[in-house]
């Protein structure tokens, strides 16, 4: 928890604000540009695809190549990530027994709690912890991205093809983020270097990923989707933005995490859910309007909750 004199606490709040507000400014700019139809309505889906399939995988690989994957603290971070997400999903499944909900509704609710906006998480981590933070965040993603994807698919599809192991494996094998994490982890474990300037090439691609990703997050916001289910949206936001970081902090403490590893775990538990959750929900015939409302409401609320959570847990 945050401690110190009032002057120290005030300085910490100002530092957090200076660190985080430019990231949300990019989200707001993306929202404004998309509403102004600039540069065109077709630009934003294309930009999102470019980032998802090219720029962001390059960022993951370049961050993982030199990551200290054999460091015990890194291994504990991976374990803490699995336990945090697993506990949250288990508690939601248990609560569903008392408040039954169809998969079309439960799927978006679960995604709203366990998934995370990777672009925002990496941007905050980079701002607060630099390259070492990005390395640890990439390891967190290598563990968490496959897990949250499997949980999301299972929650959205109680019956049918999407629950078959073959379909799950095929879906995971096509995910560029999972493939990038596997490639980066393999390079880190083998100690292989990237020849012929490939690492520099990936680094150049990676530099465009986070700003473009945040702009795309803003472009994808749908305020109209928040007009329904206000109570459910608010409850889901509280679980994601406040309860999840509290759970993560408790799990991190149990795993003996500190410093950058603890920061990464709390950041990725305190950020809003992923905009791509809406795409998966639509593909598996879930409640798309509810999912869009969750994404939009959490992203807007996170402007206030993220600095509050980081301050209360003593970061920076």
DSSP secondary structure letters along 54-108:
IIHHHHHHHHHTT--TT-HHHHHHHHHHHHHHHHHHHHHHHHHHHS---HHHHHH
Instruction: Name the CA dihedral angle for 48, 53, 54, 56, rounded to a multiple of 10 degrees.
Output: 70
Residue 7 token pair: 């002057």
Give the lowest-confidence range in 116-125, 148-157, 256-265: 148-157
Per-residue pLDDT at 313: 86
- CATH code of the domain containing 101: 1.20.1530.20
pLDDT digits (tens, 9 = 90+) for 300-316: 999 889 988 998 887 76
Tokens 């990676």 map to which residue?
A: 206
Residues 86-91, mean pLDDT to the nearest whole number: 97
The structure's pTM equals: 0.88
Question: Is residue 35, in this structure, part of any structural domain at all?
Answer: yes
Question: Is residue 1, in this structure, part of any structural domain at all?
Answer: no
Per-residue pLDDT at 15: 66
Q: Using 50, 70 and 90 to split pLDDT, how confident is the model at 251?
A: very high
How many residues does the structure list for the chain?
Answer: 316
Can you say how many angstroms the Cα of residue 53 is from the centroid of all Cα atoms in its chain?
Answer: 16
Specify the number of domains making up the chain.
1
Question: Is residue 304, in this structure, part of any structural domain at all?
Answer: yes
Contacts of 81 (CB under 8 A, 6+ apart): 140, 143, 144, 147, 265, 268
pLDDT above 70 (res 7): no
* CA distances (Å), origin 31, targets 201, 214, 217, 220, 274: 30, 10, 8, 7, 16
The residue that leads in pLDDT, 11 or 34, is: 34
Per-residue pLDDT at 65: 85
Buried-state track 214-247, b at ≥16 Cβ within 10 A, e below 16: bbbbbbbbbeebbeebeebbeebbebbbbebbeb
Per-residue pLDDT at 158: 65
Q: Using 50, 70 and 90 to split pLDDT, how confident is the model at 160?
A: low
Judge contact between 187 and 65, C-beta under 8 A.
yes
Per-residue pLDDT at 41: 86
Question: Is residue 42, in this structure, part of any structural domain at all?
Answer: yes
Question: Is residue 288, in this structure, part of any structural domain at all?
Answer: yes
The range of the structural domain enclosing residue 31 comes to 6-312
Backbone phi and psi for residue 216, each to the nearest 5 degrees, phi listed first: -65, -35
Q: DSSP string spanning 250-276?
A: HHHHHTT--HHHHHHHHHHHHSPPPTH
SS3 144: helix
What percent of the chain stands above pLDDT 70?
Answer: 92
pLDDT above 90 (res 255): yes
Residues 69-91, mean pLDDT to the nearest whole number: 93
pLDDT above 80 (res 285): yes
Residues 88-107, mean pLDDT to the nearest whole number: 93
Judge contact between 56 and 177, C-beta under 8 A.
yes
Average pLDDT, whole number, for the chain? 88
What percent of the chain stands above pLDDT 90?
Answer: 52
Tokens 């702009």 map to which residue?
A: 215
Judge contact between 114 and 42, C-beta under 8 A.
no
Tokens 């897990």 map to which residue?
A: 147
Q: Using 50, 70 and 90 to split pLDDT, how confident is the model at 282?
A: confident
Residues 194-217, mean pLDDT to the nearest whole number: 90
The residue that leads in pLDDT, 9 or 87, is: 87
pLDDT above 60 (res 9): no
Task: Residue 171: count other Cβ atoms within 10 Å of its Cβ.
Answer: 16
């Amino acid at each position: 928890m945050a401690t110190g004199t009032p002057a120290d606490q005030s300085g910490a709040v100002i530092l957090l604000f200076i660190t985080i507000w430019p990231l949300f400014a990019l989200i707001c700019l993306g929202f404004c540009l998309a509403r102004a139809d600039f540069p065109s309505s077709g630009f934003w889906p294309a930009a999102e695809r470019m980032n998802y399939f090219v720029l962001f995988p390059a960022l993951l690989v370049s961050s993982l190549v030199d990551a200290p994957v054999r460091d015990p603290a890194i291994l504990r971070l991976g374990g803490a990530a699995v336990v945090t997400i697993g506990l949250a999903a288990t508690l939601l499944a248990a609560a569903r027994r008392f408040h039954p909900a169809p998969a079309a509704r439960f799927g978006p609710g679960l995604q709203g709690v366990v998934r995370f906006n990777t672009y925002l998480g990496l941007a905050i981590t980079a701002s607060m912890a630099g390259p070492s933070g990005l390395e640890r965040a990439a390891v967190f993603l290598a563990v968490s991205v496959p897990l949250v994807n499997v949980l999301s698919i299972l929650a959205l599809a109680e019956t049918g093809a999407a629950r078959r192991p073959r379909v799950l494996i095929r879906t995971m094998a096509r995910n560029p983020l999972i493939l990038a994490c596997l490639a980066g982890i393999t390079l880190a474990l083998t100690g292989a270097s990237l020849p012929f300037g490939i690492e520099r090439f990936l680094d150049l691609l990676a530099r465009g990923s986070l700003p473009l990703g945040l702009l795309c997050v803003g472009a994808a916001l749908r305020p109209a989707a928040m007009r329904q289910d206000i109570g459910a949206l608010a409850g889901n936001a509280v679980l994601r933005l406040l309860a999840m970081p509290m759970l993560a902090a408790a799990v991190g403490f149990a795993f003996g995490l500190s410093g950058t590893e603890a920061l990464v775990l709390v950041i990725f538990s305190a950020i809003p859910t992923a905009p791509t959750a809406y795409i998966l929900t639509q593909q598996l015939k879930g409640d798309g309007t509810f999912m869009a409302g969750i994404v939009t409401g959490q992203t807007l609320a996170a402007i206030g909750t993220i600095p509050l959570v980081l301050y209360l847990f003593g970061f920076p």
